[in-house]
Amino acid sequence: MAQGGIFQLTAVSQDDRGCPIGAQLTGTVTAYSGGSLRSGSFPVNQPVPLPIPPRGGHKAPPSPTWFLVLDYSIEDASFTIVIEGPGTNNPTTITIDGANMPKWVAQNQK
């Protein structure tokens, strides 16, 4: 990807009947690398609610999204997000490594 490309991270919860707190999850982007956040991105280091995608015919609140304007290529970029629920003592930290994106995109293209 050429300099100035965008690495977009959008985070939502899932409609998992086995997780009674799915609608109460939050996500906090705690770090990013390889570029600068574009205006219109959700805040960093601040928990934001993760909406459950709506069922057909219903409207969902905006999904938290961060837009990283790349300094170089997506292979040099990453996001780290912490997912938590109410009263959770076990937050889940996920790093989305841009180096994996070309392979993931290729696997999902038809």
- pLDDT of the residue at 9: 95
Report the predicted TM-score, pTM, of the whole model to 2 decimal places. 0.85
pLDDT of residue 7: 94
- The domain limits of the chain are 6-108
On the CB side of 11, how many CA atoms lie within 13 Å of its CA?
26
| Backbone φ and ψ of 109, nearest 5° | -80, 145
* 18-65 pLDDT, tens digit each: 778 888 899 999 999 999 999 999 999 999 999 887 777 778 778 999
Percent of the chain with pLDDT over 90: 59
